[in-house]
Homo-oligomer: A and B are copies of this chain.
């Protein structure tokens, strides 16, 4: 395993799965964040250490490719690599493997550091990047953006209020909850009969405790859903999800 890789095992438990016993998309994101936080801790890059440099990590985009979601009781391995970075962006990869080492899901994410003083993106401090032994690159891989959200097609919408238990230590919504809001707009019959195979998601603005959000869905084709989470007129999240029959 390269110096910038880290992995751990995990047992999928019932409260991480949906009513059919399959790991939820929200929990897949939680597992990817978990393994990267554990890598951070193992390298001495605790949240407190990162904060001591006046910054915090913020994810701007994920691209996920999913072959299969594991079921309750499955022993899986979660793996991550802080692959590459440049002045402003860090490119991280994630894997979910079954107990035979087969890839069940793969993810890539683009992270930035935000300054606590200016609330703006800042150059990544060398001290919070060096321990990964990542490759410095001028051009990082570009993740595909979500498709244009077509407001004309089959649009449905549900409102959600951000709850206390949706927020994390930063005072912002844990990203995984966006998936619950996005997918809950789809009918249960659709969710039980399909599983996501490709997810393009872009985080544009933060959502905070007490905000009223709307989760908008446009189903461009039978197996393609477009999603938008808004706070008033402000777009917080955009996503496109490809589905396949289970």
Chain A contact residues, CB within 8 Å of chain B: 13-15, 18-21, 24, 26-27, 30, 33-34, 37, 41, 73, 158, 161, 163-165, 167-169, 171, 174, 176, 180, 183-184, 186, 188, 191, 209
Contacts and interface: CB of A to CB of B under 8 A. Distances in A.
B184 A163 contact: yes
Given A19-B167, A21-B169, 6 more contacts: A14-B168, A15-B174, A18-B165, A164-B188, A165-B183, A188-B209
A22 to B, nearest CB: 11
11 contacts: A13-B30, A14-B34, A14-B168, A15-B174, A18-B164, A18-B165, A19-B164, A26-B165, A158-B161, A163-B180, A165-B183
B15 A34 contact: yes
Nearest to A25: B165
Copy number in the complex reads 2
Contact of A164 (B13, B30, B176, B183): B183
Contacts of A24: 165
Contacts of A34: 13-15
Contacts of A186: 164
Contacts of A176: 15
B18 A37 contact: no
Contacts of A18: 164-165
Contacts of A188: 164, 209
